[in-house]
Structure 1
Amino acid sequence: MTQYLNNADLITIGLYLLSLVVVGIYLQRRASNSLEDYIVGGKKLPFWALGTSGTAQYLDLSGTAVVVSFLYLVGPQGFFVNFRGHVILAMVIVMLWSGKYHRRSGCLTAAEWNLFRFGDGASGRFAQIAMVVSAVLITMGSLAYLMVGAGVFLSTFVPFSPDQCALALVVVATLYTVLSGFYGVVVTDVIQSVIVIFAALLVSVLAFNHIESFEALAATASSVTGYDTWSQAAPVWHADLPAGYEDYEYVSLFAVFFMLRAFLVGLGMGNESRYMGARSDKDTVALSFITTSLTSIRWPMMMGFAVLGLFAVQNFYPDQDVISSGVEIVRQAYPDVTEDKWGALVSDIGNNPENYSPALIESLKNALGENGDWNLKLQLLGYHGTVNPEKILPTVLATMIPAGFRGLLIVALVAAAMSTFDSQANWAAGLLSKDVYQKYFRKKAGSKELVLSSYCATVLIVLVSFVFTFGMTSINDVYKWIIVSLQSGLMVPTILKFYWWRFNGAGFAGGVLTGAVAAIVQRLYFPDLPEMTLLLYSMSLGGLGSVIGTYMTGPTEEKVLSRFYNKTLPMGAWKTYKEKLTPEVRARAESEHKRDIMAVPFAALWQITLFFAPLLLVIHHFQGFIVSSITSAVCFFIGYKFWYKKLPPPMEDEK
C-alpha cells in the first residue's frame, strides 16, 4: 500500500476504524431512545466524560498541522500567533461563567435557547432560524477545514489524492456519528483522548531526546528556516515569515489583538451539547477545567513534531536551493496550476509517478535525489518555492518515527480529526432536527422519526461540507475564513444576547445574517484581506446589523425577559430586572459576577502558562519551563482559593 507503513501499522489503523463502526452499532439503540438522548446523552453523562470529550474536540488533525507549521517556522513564538484560536483562550470565559449561563436554561440546543431568551413569537423564531443557519454554516466550514487537513495528511501515506483521502475518512466518520449520536461522541472521545495523550507523550520524548542542547537546536533551526530568533520564547515585534504567512509578521501585536478577541468570543460561547447536557453549574466548571488541562498535552506534542521536522528538512535539503529548483520543475510542466490545486498535484506525482511524463519524473529525481525518498521530498515542496510547513507533520511521521509506532500515531491524529468531526456534526444535526424539522414541520413526530431526521441532517451537512473543500488553497486558508471572518461576523450578536436586556430576536437575526453575508462576500471578493483587518470588518458589520435590527423592532416581552433573567442571572445591563430580585438572590448574583470578573486574569495566565511550560521543556528551554510552571501553579492556587472555593451553593434545580 505504501512504503512508509508496515503490516503492524496497517493492522493498527484497520482495527481502529473497525472499532469505530462496532461501537457506533453498539450505542445505536441507546442513542435512538429519544432526541434528548441523541443530542445531549439524556443529560446523564458525568462531568469527567464531558470534559474529556471536550479535550478530544480541540485536538483536531487540521489544527495540529497548522500549529506545527507555525512552531516550525518561528519556534516558541508560534504559540502566540495561535492566540487566534488554537490556544482556546475563549475557554477562560466559558469556564468562569458563560458555560453555566447556557446550562441554566434547561434547553437542548443553542437555537432552542433563543426561544428561551427572545420568546416563541415572530422575533424569537426569527432568531431561532438565524441561529440554525449560522450554526450549520459554521459547522460546514469547520468540517471542510477538517477534511482538507485530513486529506493533506493522509495523502502522504497512501497512493490517493487529498480529496480521495478526505472522502474515505468522511464516510467512516459520518456512519459512526449517524449511528451513535452524542453517546458515541462522548464514549469514543474519551477513548480517543487517551490515545492522543499517549501519542503526545511519545512524540514529546522522541523530540526531547533528539536535541543535543538548546543552543544546538537554535543553530539548526536558524539554518533550516532562515529565522534567526527561532529559539526566543517571548514574542517579538516583527518576524520574517515566508510568502503566504505575511499576516503574522507582527507577532506581539497579533497576539494581543487576538487574545482580546478570544475573550470576546468566550462571552457568548458555552452553547455546545456538553454544556447543555451538564448536570449542574459546578459540572460546567469542572468539565471546562478538565478540557483545558488535558488539552495542554497537545502543545509539547506539536512542538515535538516541529522540532523533528527541523531535522527532517535538514536531512532532506542540506542545500535549500534544491527546494526552489524542484518547484520550478513542476511549474514548467504544469504552468497553469493554481495554489488550491498544488497539493493534490504534487501528492499524485509522488504517489503515482507512472501516470506522469517520464521526463518530468527523471528531472525531479535528478533534482531531489535518485534514492527512494524523492517522492517524499516532493511532498514538502510548497507553491511559493519554499518548504510547505503544513506538510511537516506527515513528513515527520514518515521519516522520523520508528516503524510500528507510525500506525499508532496516525491513529491518534485521525482519532483527533474524528472526535472533532463527530462533535460538530452531531451539534448541527440536532439543531436541524429539533429546531427546524420538529418545530415547523412535524410537531408530533415520535422519537424514531426525530432520530431518523437527525441521521438525514448529518448526511446532508457532511455532503455540503465536502463540496466546500474544493477551491481551498491550504488548511490555514480555511481556518482563516472560518475563525477570523465567519465567526467574527457572528460574534457581536452572540455576546449581546446575554448582557443587554434591550437586545431582541430581530437584533440577533439581523446581526447573524449580516455577519454571515459579510463573511461570504469577503471570501468571494476580498480573500486576501489581512487577518486583523478582516476581524474588524466582519465584527463591525455584524455589530451594525445587531443594533439596526434591535431598534427597528420593539423590546422582548416583559414576562420572557423576567423568566430568562431570573433563571440565568447573567451580568450586564439588566438593572431593572436585578432590582426585582429578592435581597438574598441579588446579593448572590452580584457577588458571583464580581468574583467571576476578578478571576479572569488569573485564569487566563494559568491557562497560557499551563500550555507554554511543557512546550518549552521539549526544546530544553529549562529556565522558561520553570518560570512558566511556577506562574501556572500560583495562578491555579489563587483561582482555586478565591474563586472556585467561593462558588455559591447549588440552586434549586441543581439539587
Structure 2
Amino acid sequence: GRTTGLDWHAISSAASPKLHSFNDWIKTDGYELFGLFFVMMLFKGILVSAAGPAPNYDMQRILATKNPKEASKMSSLVSVVLNPTRYFMVAGLTILALVNFDKLYTGSLTDPDFESILPEVLATYVPVGLLGFLLAGLIAAFMSNFAATVNAAPAYLVNDIYKRYINPHASEKTYVRMSYAASLLIVVIGIAVGFLVTSINDVVLWLTAALWGGYTAPNFLKWYWWRFNGYGYFWGMLSGIAAALLLPALNLDMLQNWPLTENFSMNAFPVIFLISLIGSILGSLLTKREDDKTLKKFYRQVRPWGFWKPVERMVMAEDPSFMPNRDFWRDMFNIVVGIVWQLSLMAFPVFLVIREWKQFYVAVAVMIVTTVILKYTWWDKLKD
C-alpha cells in the first residue's frame, strides 16, 4: 500500500528470509489468477444466494420474523450492522500483521503456517482490556454459530429420519430424549473431527466452496422448479455431499491445479454442483411428484419465479384474480444494486483503515447512491 509501505514487488536482497519466503508464497498460493478466481466466486455466490437462507442460523433468523416484509428488512439490517464493523476489524488486524510480519511470524519458511499470525497480532498489539472484549466477541460469535448448528442437526435427525421412518408414534418425551442424544452425538463427532484437522484454512475452504457445491443445487431447485420434490432434495444432497467427501480422497491433479493452482475447493465446486444437480433432477423425475394441493399452496404463498407454469395454470383456474409474481426484472435490478451496495459496505472500512481517501470517498458515495435507489425500488415496495 502507498501509505503502509507494503509494496513487495521487488524485495531487496537485504530483506529478511521471511519476507523473501512470504513473497514467494504469494506467487504460489493459488490466487495469482485473481480475475478467474473472482469469476468463480461470483458464480458460486450467485448460486448460493439464489438457494435462499442456509438451514441453520440464517433460516432461524428468517423464521423468527413476523412476515416476509420484516424478514427482508432484517436481512438488510444484518448487512448494515455486520459488514462495516467486521471489515474495520479485519482490515486493521491484517495491516498490523502485514506491516509487522517479519517479527511476528515464527513458523516454518518452507511450510507456511499463516494461522499462527493472528494470535501473535492479538497478543502483541491489542491492549489487555480491549483484547478481553475482542476475545469475548470472537468466542460469542463462535458459540452462536455452534449453538445454531447443534440445534439444527437434531431437528433433521429426529424429525426427518427418526420420527418419519423409524418411530413415528413415539411420545414427545421420546423425541426430546432423542434430540438430546443427537445433539451429544453431533458434538462428539465435531470434537473428534477437530482433533484430525491440521489447517483451519483448508477446512473453511472445503466447507464454503466444495461442500457448498453439494448444498447449492437442491436448495436452488426447490424455489424455481415445480417438479422438484423431497426425493430430489435427498438425492441431490446425498450425491453432492458424497462427491465433496470423495473427490478430495481421489486427489485428482486436474482439480488440484486447474483452473486455479493449489485450490482444490474452488476448482471442485462446479464439478460437485453438477453431480448434485444431476442427482436432484434424477431423484425428482424418477419419483412421484408432490400433490397438487401442496404445490398450489406453496405457489400462492411464495409466488416464486422460474418454471412454475403448470402450477400457475392450476392456481389461476381456481382463482382468476390471483396475481403471479411479475416483478422479475425489478427484482433483478435490485439484486445488482444490492450487490454493489453490500460491496460498498465492505469497501469503505478497508479504505478508511489504509487511508486511501479517494477510494474511501468513492465507496461512501456509492453506498449513499445505492441506498437511495434501494429505498425507492425495494424498501418502499416490500409487501407483507
| TM-score category of the 2 structures, normalised to the smaller one | 0.7 to 0.9
Question: Alignment partner of 1:565: what SS?
Answer: helix
Q: Note closer, same or farther for the CA distance 1:448–1:509 as it changes in structure 2 (3 Å cut).
A: closer
The alpha carbon displacement at 1:487 in A equals: 1.3
1:288 and 2:88 correspond: no
Partner of 2:29: 246
Q: Deviations over 1:479-525 (max 9, x none)?
A: 12212111102311111111111223332222221111111111222
The alpha carbon displacement at 1:283 in A equals: 1.6
1:498 and 2:227 correspond: no
Aligned pairs for 1:50-129 (under 5 A) are none
Give the aligned residue type for 1:597: M
Q: Distance in 1 between matches of 2:171 and 2:368?
A: 51
The alpha carbon displacement at 1:222 in A equals: 3.0
The alpha carbon displacement at 1:612 in A equals: 0.9
Question: Alignment partner of 1:222: what SS?
Answer: coil
Q: Deviations over 1:75-109 (max 9, x none)?
A: xxxxxxxxxxxxxxxxxxxxxxxxxxxxxxxxxxx
Q: Distance in 1 between matches of 2:303 and 2:8?
A: 56
Partner of 2:66: 279
Give the aligned residue type for 2:322: V
1:567 and 2:322 correspond: no
Instruction: Report if aligned partners of 2:122, 2:131 keep a CA contact under 8 Å in 1.
Output: yes
Instruction: Report if aligned partners of 2:215, 2:240 keep a CA contact under 8 Å in 1.
Output: yes
Partner of 2:336: 601
Q: Distance in 2 between matches of 1:422 and 1:500?
A: 32
Aligned pairs for 1:185-196 (under 5 A) are none
Partner of 1:590: 326
The alpha carbon displacement at 1:565 in A equals: 1.7
Give the aligned residue type for 1:276: L
Partner of 2:356: 621
Q: 1:632 aligns with which of 367, 371, 377?
A: 367
Question: Alignment partner of 1:586: what SS?
Answer: coil
Q: Note closer, same or farther for the CA distance 1:603–1:584 as it changes in structure 2 (3 Å cut).
A: farther
Q: Distance in 1 between matches of 2:10 and 2:354?
A: 16
Partner of 2:126: 401
Q: Deviations over 1:351-395 (max 9, x none)?
A: xxxxxxxxxxxxxxxxxxxxxxxxxx6xx3047344x32222111
Q: Distance in 1 between matches of 2:358 and 2:299?
A: 48
Q: Distance in 2 between matches of 1:412 and 1:256?
A: 33
Partner of 2:50: 267
Give the aligned residue type for 1:500: W
Gaps of 5+ in 2: 13-21, 257-262
Question: Alignment partner of 2:184: what SS?
Answer: helix
Q: Distance in 2 between matches of 1:511 and 1:436?
A: 17
Question: Alignment partner of 2:145: what SS?
Answer: helix
The alpha carbon displacement at 1:583 in A equals: 4.6
TM-score (norm 2): 0.85
1:526 and 2:251 correspond: yes
Give the aligned residue type for 2:375: Y
The alpha carbon displacement at 1:642 in A equals: 1.2
Count the aligned residue pairs.
358
Q: Distance in 2 between matches of 1:459 and 1:244?
A: 44
The alpha carbon displacement at 1:310 in A equals: 2.5
Question: Alignment partner of 1:548: what SS?
Answer: helix
Q: Distance in 2 between matches of 1:512 and 1:554?
A: 18
Q: Note closer, same or farther for the CA distance 1:406–1:643 as it changes in structure 2 (3 Å cut).
A: closer
Partner of 2:107: 381
Q: Distance in 1 between matches of 2:152 and 2:336?
A: 31
The alpha carbon displacement at 1:302 in A equals: 0.7
Instruction: Report if aligned partners of 1:241, 1:249 keep a CA contact under 8 Å in 2.
Output: no
1:466 and 2:191 correspond: yes
Question: Alignment partner of 1:628: what SS?
Answer: helix
Question: Alignment partner of 2:201: what SS?
Answer: helix
Q: Distance in 2 between matches of 1:448 and 1:383?
A: 57
Instruction: Report if aligned partners of 2:212, 2:269 keep a CA contact under 8 Å in 1.
Output: no
Question: Alignment partner of 2:197: what SS?
Answer: coil
The alpha carbon displacement at 1:611 in A equals: 0.9
Q: Distance in 2 between matches of 1:548 and 1:225?
A: 54
Q: Distance in 1 between matches of 2:24 and 2:356?
A: 23
Instruction: Report if aligned partners of 2:91, 2:349 keep a CA contact under 8 Å in 1.
Output: no
Q: Note closer, same or farther for the CA distance 1:594–1:451 as it changes in structure 2 (3 Å cut).
A: farther
Q: Distance in 2 between matches of 1:277 and 1:572?
A: 27
Q: Distance in 2 between matches of 1:496 and 1:412?
A: 36
The alpha carbon displacement at 1:429 in A equals: 2.2
1:557 and 2:291 correspond: yes
Q: Note closer, same or farther for the CA distance 1:574–1:226 as it changes in structure 2 (3 Å cut).
A: farther
Instruction: Report if aligned partners of 1:309, 1:393 keep a CA contact under 8 Å in 2.
Output: yes
Q: Note closer, same or farther for the CA distance 1:509–1:440 as it changes in structure 2 (3 Å cut).
A: closer
| Aligned CA-pair RMSD | 2.7
Q: 2:97 aligns with which of 309, 316, 336?
A: 309
Question: Alignment partner of 1:637: what SS?
Answer: helix
Question: Alignment partner of 1:246: what SS?
Answer: coil
Partner of 1:153: none
Q: Distance in 2 between matches of 1:561 and 1:434?
A: 22
Aligned pairs for 1:318-467 (under 5 A) are 380-382=106-108, 384-386=110-112, 388-467=113-192
Instruction: Report if aligned partners of 1:433, 1:453 keep a CA contact under 8 Å in 2.
Output: yes
Q: Deviations over 1:272-296 (max 9, x none)?
A: 2222232111121121112111111
Higher relative contact order (CA 8 A, sep 6+): 1
Q: 1:545 aligns with which of 279, 292, 299?
A: 279
Gaps of 5+ in 1: 1-213, 228-238, 318-376, 651-655
Q: Distance in 1 between matches of 2:107 and 2:252?
A: 23
Instruction: Report if aligned partners of 1:481, 1:523 keep a CA contact under 8 Å in 2.
Output: no
Instruction: Report if aligned partners of 2:163, 2:169 keep a CA contact under 8 Å in 1.
Output: yes
The alpha carbon displacement at 1:628 in A equals: 0.7
Q: Distance in 1 between matches of 2:218 and 2:43?
A: 17
Give the aligned residue type for 1:552: L
Question: Alignment partner of 2:306: what SS?
Answer: coil
Identity of aligned residues (%): 29
Aligned pairs for 1:147-296 (under 5 A) are 215-217=2-4, 219=5, 221-223=6-8, 242=25, 246-270=29-53, 271=55, 272-296=59-83
Instruction: Report if aligned partners of 1:306, 1:392 keep a CA contact under 8 Å in 2.
Output: no
Q: Distance in 1 between matches of 2:121 and 2:158?
A: 42
Partner of 1:84: none
Give the aligned residue type for 1:466: I
Partner of 1:234: none
Q: Distance in 2 between matches of 1:429 and 1:225?
A: 54
